[in-house]
Amino acid sequence: MISEPLIENDNLDIPFHLAIIMDGNGRWAKSKGYPRVAGHRKGAEAARLAVENSIKYGVRYLTLYSFSSENWRRPVDEVNDIMGLLREYLLNQMNELHSSGVRLRVIGERDNLASDINLLIEEGEMSTKSNTTLELVIALSYGSRSEIVNATKRILNNVDLGVVKPREINEILFESYLDTAGIPNPDLLIRTSGEKRLSNFLLWQLAYTELVFLDVLWPDFGEPDFIKALFEFTQRERRFGSINSNKIDKN
Ligand code: FPP
């Protein structure tokens, strides 16, 4: 059951696509004297709440940076802990996600994931493919530079095969070879924990995205922080390089 919004949606511009870099699990755990895994566990709960809040406020696409290509370099125990939480999430949350009308999609290098996790992802994507309330995009073993390199290789392969002509290569064609093909670019990116970096996340897709950096550590990210980010987004003027604002006069 999703509770009533804390404030009226009429006062907010709602991003069609919200992307989040969920940062600060380790620092949250350290500040409380807990092991890092406790931060990730609370972080997984905060991710569940972010899905609920996205539905509640009418966000249509939510992309969560859950595990980067670089995260494989962490100690093996921590990698196993995070993978265990993802496995748990896919096992325990899919029914609820499905009944809330959520469609699951996973981007990133699946070859690096355990086969049972890949199976859960395939089942989740298949069983939710007709849902339209919210598209939940989980970035797993994801790195933007390698996504771009892989897209380029696939285009070149199709040029070799004669399926694509070099003069047909443009931004629209290129986007259709990215992992995010068919997903609109994010309108708003939130990064928690006070860090102000993109960390190899959606580098192509974030070209015109509004960036909001919050000091809150990800495990503490709840509805008040969600609203705070939407307020900041509401105050921004998005001009996409032009001189006209996208703001609609609400009065
Ligand atoms: C960043 O905090 C977080 C991660 C690298 C992992 C994110 C994983 C989860 C939130 C759990 C699973 C997610 C889902 C969708 C179920 P950090 O460890 O880099 O924190 P630090 O910078 O404070 O050390």
Which CATH entry fits the domain spanning 14-145+185-235: 3.20.20.30, 3.40.50.2300, 3.40.1180.10, 3.30.360.10? Answer: 3.40.1180.10
Per-residue model confidence (pLDDT) at position 163: 97
Cα–Cα distance between 137 and 202 in angstroms, integer?
12
C-alpha distances in angstroms, 134 versus 1, 42, 187, 209?
16, 22, 15, 19
The amino acid at residue 104 is L
Ligand 1 center from residue 239 Cα (angstroms)? 32
Q: Give the number of the atom of ligand 1 that is nearest the alpha carbon of residue 85.
A: 12
Atom 12 of ligand 1, residue of closest alpha carbon: 44
- For residues 234-243, give the mean pLDDT: 81
What lies within 8 Å, CB to CB, of 123 at 6+ separation is: 94
For the stretch 54-80, pLDDT in tens is 999 999 999 999 999 999 999 999 999
From the list 38, 45, 47, 220, the residue with the least C-alpha distance to 140 is 47
Atom 10 of ligand 1, residue of closest alpha carbon: 43
From the list 54, 221, 192, the residue with the least C-alpha distance to 136 is 54
Cα–Cα distance between 151 and 154 in angstroms, integer?
5
The fraction of the chain above a pLDDT of 90, given in percent, is: 89
Using CB distances shorter than 6 Å, the residues near ligand 1 are 22-27, 40, 43-44, 47, 64, 66-67, 71, 82, 85-86, 89, 138, 193
- For residues 10-32, give the mean pLDDT: 96
User: Could you give the maximum distance between any two Cα atoms of the chain, in Å?
Assistant: 59
Residue 246: pLDDT band (50, 70, 90) is low
For the stretch 169-201, pLDDT in tens is 999 999 999 999 999 999 999 999 999 999 999
Residue 16: pLDDT band (50, 70, 90) is very high
* Residues involved in catalysis: 23, 71
- For residues 121-148, give the mean pLDDT: 98
Per-residue model confidence (pLDDT) at position 248: 43
Q: Is the pLDDT of residue 245 over 70?
A: no
Residue 199 burial (C-beta neighbours within 10 Å; 0-12, 13-18, 19+): middle
Pocket perturbation via mutation, ligand 1, pick of 45, 66, 88 by most ligand atoms within 8 A of CB: 66
Atom 22 of ligand 1, residue of closest alpha carbon: 24
For residues 90 and 47, the answer to whether their CB atoms sit within 8 Å is: no
The amino acid at residue 199 is S
Cα–Cα distance between 219 and 189 in angstroms, integer?
17
- How many CB atoms sit inside 10 A of residue 52's CB? 17
Ligand 1 center from residue 3 Cα (angstroms)? 26
The amino acid at residue 56 is K
From the list 168, 235, 189, 194, the residue with the least C-alpha distance to 11 is 235
Q: What are phi and psi of 11, to 5 degrees?
A: -85, 0
The fraction of the chain above a pLDDT of 70, given in percent, is: 96
Per-residue model confidence (pLDDT) at position 1: 67
Q: Is the pLDDT of residue 237 over 80?
A: no
Residue 244 DSSP class: S
Per-residue model confidence (pLDDT) at position 250: 36
- For residues 28-51, give the mean pLDDT: 98
Strands 188-191, 134-142: parallel, antiparallel or unpaired by DSSP?
A: unpaired
For residues 28 and 72, the answer to whether their CB atoms sit within 8 Å is: no
